Amino acid sequence: MSLSPKRSSRPTRPSSPRGFFRDALGFALRAMVAHKTRTLLTSLSMVIGNAAVIVVVSVALTGRDFVVQQIEGVGANLIYAYYEAGGNVSEAEADYITLDDLEAVKLQLGGMAQGIAGVMGTWDRLFIDGRAQQIRVLGSSEEYRVVRNLEIPAGRFFDANDVAGRVKICLLTEPLARKLFGSSRQAIGGSIQVRGLKFTVVGVFREGVETLGQTEVAADSVLIPITVMKYFQPRERIDPLYVSVRSPREVEAATSLIQQTLVSRHRPGSLYKVENLSSILSAANEIALALTVVLIVVAGVTLTISGIFIMNIMLISVSERTKEIGIRLSVGATRREIRAQFLAEAVCISTAGGLAGVLLGISIPLVARQLLPQLTIPISTISVVAAVVVSGTVGAVFGLLPAIRAAKLDPVEALRYE
């Protein structure tokens, strides 16, 4: 009678690094399932930390995009020029920008310009509800709509034929249209008196973004063709001159060219301010970047605190599971395997919490989009990827100390632990 060989009670060693990590991961997952409450509470800090990362980056990007949209909404690649008197220059001595200057600028810029429009302005009075109220009267060309990104909620804008033919038509701002006619729609086809002349209302306009009175457009404004407006002015005066160039790369070159053209066409000593929105846009981007960095640092501190919390819980876990570690060491598990098990457990808890935090962080901007459809709330893909990667890294870094402590336990002492 032959006896079969006796089986060893020692566990079979993994034949490859792949098997080693698979076993470590298996032990870690079983431990997480066995201690669900502890695992949930431990990962909760990482959920909050990662959700914070996604939300703060979304807030920073939203703020940046909102500011940029407000600036760009004033006019696409906009340049504006105006006469800057300085000193005690009298009205007779003033050397204003004229329609001839506008044509000279248009000739110099050529294909660089998407639109060029001059604005003339004055004031008048209209009777509204039986009372005389002051209104702003603006004169410009058909290109004014392009350079200033004007919106036409009712009616139409005037065209080149209207300007060339000095047609007595006008557009009203929405507040003025409501005051005079009750609504924007009812204003179309109506008529008003401007400087003693009858103008037919053909449209209602508004600025692309709210400028809060920081431009030539007042709340109660009337816009008429500049060819008619110049007859209301004692002197021809364009203030300001607007130019919209086709490419952002050409803004600086066009600004210099406009400055040179105006200076060369007027007497020495006359001052002309030619500016663009590039510096304001650049400053807004720098502020947004600084805000983003600050918010990311705050989120990083939150994740670090989460990692410390995970480390503390894992250290407590090592103490609670000392007997379990002793049993594993006594049946043949190596210290390397014990270390790998606890390290894998910390990484799994951190990563699982991180993924849940990412989902929570993404859901908040998505819900906000539904509640605030007028506001663009971007979700940064980079921040999502970074949050997941950082989650695993935090687990590995802060789980290392508990893993090392577990691996260093003496098997005999561990078995005697109660």
Question: And the tokens for 246?
Answer: 């086709």
- Half-sphere exposure at residue 99, Cβ-oriented, CA atoms within 13 angstroms: 14
Q: How far is CA 318 from the centre of its chain?
A: 46
Residues ≥6 apart with Cβ < 8 Å to 30: none
pLDDT of residue 76: 54
Q: Name the strand (E) or helix (H) holding 356.
A: helix 335-371
**Looking at residue 361, what is its pLDDT?**
81
Backbone φ, ψ for residue 18 (5° rounding):
-60, -45
CA neighbours within 13 Å on the CB side: how many for 321? Answer: 24
Q: Which residues of the chain have pLDDT under 70?
A: 1-25, 27-28, 31, 34-35, 67-76, 85-93, 209-214, 279, 374-376, 410-418
Eight-state DSSP code of residue 3 = P
For strands 169-173 and 221-225, give the pairing: antiparallel
Rg over alpha carbons for the chain, rounded to the nearest Å, is: 36
CA–CA separation, 230 and 78 (whole Å): 24
Please give the structure tokens belonging to residue 76: 């696409």
Q: CA-CA distance, 333 to 317, in Å (whole number)?
A: 19
The pLDDT assigned to 71 comes to: 66
